Structure 1
Amino acid sequence: MDYYYKNISLVCILLLIIGCKDQKPTKISEEIEEVSHMNKFEWRPTECAPEHYPVTIYQGEFATEEDDYFEIPNGGVVSSDWGIFGSTWMTGPDFKSIPIKLRIIWISYTENQFYYGDFDLPKEKITALFKKGFLDNTGKQDEYTNLTVGLAPGGAVSVWVMGAGNYVEVGHYQATKTNVAMKDFAPYATISMNEFVQNRKNNFSEETKNTLAVEGIPIGKWTAYRKSYNWKPTFKHKDGGVLVDFLNKFYNGDLYNVRADNPILQEFRVSPPTQRISFDWDDKTKTRYTGVINFDEKEIWNAFEKMYENPKTTQAELLLEVDKYNSSIRIALKSENDTIPIEKSKVKIYVTPV
């Protein structure tokens, strides 16, 4: 009889569990789930390094207050560009707390030097960005998805919050030189660290080799890229063309890609000079055009520095004026006090299918 009642009880418990699984989430369960995700966001770590200055991450992680650790992709050679998405790994749960620490060790191949950093992250600033999100180039609300670490010669480190079409630098740091034994870095290697690095250099592209021969290793360059001025871009058209959208990539790696009515285009913002601009416009016949401007680095920086040498200059506009034939773009940096033409940029204009 005891055996009979025990089996009946077991069946009842199983039926109760199955019944609970089939039920839709209750308001209470949804509130519990919401609380558990409070101040947690879906994000992944990723990495980048300046083109022609490749690195390999030996160890890297983001750490949270709860002592959770999320590994930054490592082991491969990175030299994509400064301030872009790199590789991503599936690491940890979908929803993660915002980290408070970045710890990283990497090798800069052009210098044959390891660097180490243990940096505090601005948790409140990062959290605010993740909560706010951004408006994309269609005007829709979007979310940030990545925390990106940039590693530059001389041990310069930047961290960005990134989403599809919006990158914001949230920290810049200086790492210190360190050493890593070859047996730790590559346990199965049969060559020395110097030989290993030289093999990497031998495999550099011809473009990278030529760049290094001409420019060397410009220590401090990526920190200097953060120097900022109060300015905004301004679109004009000689014959009634209407701006549709606008992409602005800054020298420090920041980027926005927005619709023409986004308030960010109307505001004077303290930012570094622009590296690349791309925008679409419609002319009076509703033909869609795209203009792409890659700025000459020396010219654009000299223009901003010269403009702000005048103590009366507090803000400036980068004027982008399309002619009535949609065939050229006149560029100038203009304030109430001065106008400096920008003439060495590489400009392309083409018709875009709508």
Structure 2
Amino acid sequence: MKNIKIHLYAVLMLLTLTSSCQNKNQDKKMNEPEFEWVENLNCPTGYPIAVYRGGLEGNGFASLSDRLSTGIRGWGSSGNGLSYGVKPLPSRINCIWVSYAENCTYSIDSDIDYEKMVQLFKEGYQDSSFFFNGDGEYKKTTFDTVLVGFAPGGVVVIWALGAGKTAEVGRYKGEKYTVPQSEINKLDNHERLLFDATDRKNIMNNTKVIPLEVREANAGKPIPYGLWDTYRTRYSWRPIFILRTEGEMAMSYIDMFNGEAEYLFDEELIENNFKKRSIPKSFDLGWRDKKGQGYGGDILFDEQEIFNAFQEIYKEDKVTEAELQFSINYTNDYVTVLLKQGEKEIRLSKTKVNIYKSSSLTLKK
């Protein structure tokens, strides 16, 4: 009889613990914030990938499988998502993908920085397009995409992406993986193409996947492993704008090599504080002359030149502050750019500049 009582007590304790755990898990699930977002894939131009299995996990699942990313728009650019809706953010990535340029497969099963992602989505940012199209009023918006980038060497970078702003969540690392032939044999014809040598070659030769000029530029060169980690190096710098005639800057949009992007406008443009940023890939500028005529400028940097300039400026002092100076000429038809730190100046003469008159200063999305 005593043994029966002990057994019943143990069962009751087990049921109590189980119920308590279930309640805690349920409470945790109910307390997780939800946002409206979609998953998305990305890769560097010239290094296409396709996800074979898996996706983003957490309190829910966003599949990345059976998806090709060409990367034709560049590192950190969005593609097409499938599961847009209100849901919790992911806390883990678990997937297998094919790297066509490397002719190999990678696997990753890793926690991601959930807390940072939630913070980014909660804080949001000022909606620049609403500000310029809504009589200078403010409206807060937030990110709507969890973007997963796959680079050679198994590098995985995750960003929070929204209209006019992209912020890195974290960098992760996959390992090379061999899908068993017995598993491949069971796949349908479509899935089996991922592991077909002829199809992989066709992908690499497809100009809709890799533009001809990119393929020719990469021909005979080794894959630049580590480059996408180099892109993540941050420096303390700010842009400075000099108008040779009376007028005012309206905005600038910075697109950086690490995939991040941001708008500067209104108070943030006026305050223009130094900030740790990656090296810029391009700038879009908007300004008005004293008569109110609007102008726009597209500034595209030469990668090697601007990286060399930053390395030269920061080679003796890694924490120094520098200014990227944009000088707009008297006729508002050209911009010169130089990187400056104290008395040290480096002219970026290979920068491509396109200036145009603008009837209104509406912003990109």
**TM norm structure 1:** 0.83
Correspondences of 1:32-181 after superposition (within 5 Å): 39-64=33-58, 66=59, 68-72=60-64, 74-80=66-72, 81-90=74-83, 94-137=85-128, 138=131, 139-181=138-180
**TM norm structure 2:** 0.81
Work out whether 1:242 is the aligned partner of 2:248: yes
For residues 211 and 185 of structure 1, the distance between their equivalents in structure 2, rounded to whole angstroms, comes to 38
For residues 213 and 105 of structure 1, the distance between their equivalents in structure 2, rounded to whole angstroms, comes to 27
- Number of the residue aligned with 2:344: 338
State the SS of the aligned residue for 2:219: helix
* Alignment CA distance shift 1:258-1:72 (3 Å): farther
**1:175: Cα distance to partner?**
1.1
- Number of the residue aligned with 2:188: 187
Correspondences of 1:22-37 after superposition (within 5 Å): none
* Offset from partner CA, 1:82-112 (integer Å, 9 cap, x none): 1011110026xx3212221011211111111
State the SS of the aligned residue for 2:305: helix
For residues 97 and 129 of structure 1, the distance between their equivalents in structure 2, rounded to whole angstroms, comes to 13
Equivalent residues, number: 316
Give unmatched runs, 5+ long, in structure 2. Answer: 1-28, 132-137, 361-365
Stretch deviating more after TM superposition (256-265 or 238-247): 256-265
* 2:333 corresponds to which of 324, 327, 330: 327
- Number of the residue aligned with 2:280: 274
State the SS of the aligned residue for 1:292: strand
One-letter amino acid of the structure 1 residue matched with residue 140 of structure 2: Q
Stretch deviating more after TM superposition (202-211 or 302-311): 202-211
State the SS of the aligned residue for 1:207: helix
- Number of the residue aligned with 2:206: 203
* Alignment CA distance shift 1:279-1:184 (3 Å): farther
Correspondences of 1:289-328 after superposition (within 5 Å): 289-311=295-317, 314-328=320-334
* Alignment CA distance shift 1:194-1:332 (3 Å): same
Identity %: 30
* Offset from partner CA, 1:107-127 (integer Å, 9 cap, x none): 111111111111211111111
Work out whether 1:353 is the aligned partner of 2:359: yes
**1:36: Cα distance to partner?**
5.5
Asked if the contact 1:323/1:329 (under 8 Å) is kept, the reply is yes
Asked if the contact 2:42/2:69 (under 8 Å) is kept, the reply is no
- Number of the residue aligned with 2:26: none
**1:289: Cα distance to partner?**
0.4
For residues 126 and 199 of structure 1, the distance between their equivalents in structure 2, rounded to whole angstroms, comes to 37
Asked if the contact 1:102/1:121 (under 8 Å) is kept, the reply is yes
For residues 181 and 206 of structure 1, the distance between their equivalents in structure 2, rounded to whole angstroms, comes to 34
* Alignment CA distance shift 1:313-1:58 (3 Å): closer
Asked if the contact 1:60/1:72 (under 8 Å) is kept, the reply is yes
Give unmatched runs, 5+ long, in structure 1. Answer: 1-34
Correspondences of 1:210-225 after superposition (within 5 Å): 210-213=216-219, 215-225=221-231
One-letter amino acid of the structure 1 residue matched with residue 37 of structure 2: W
* Offset from partner CA, 1:121-172 (integer Å, 9 cap, x none): 1111111111110113224311110100001111111100011110001111
Asked if the contact 1:246/1:260 (under 8 Å) is kept, the reply is no
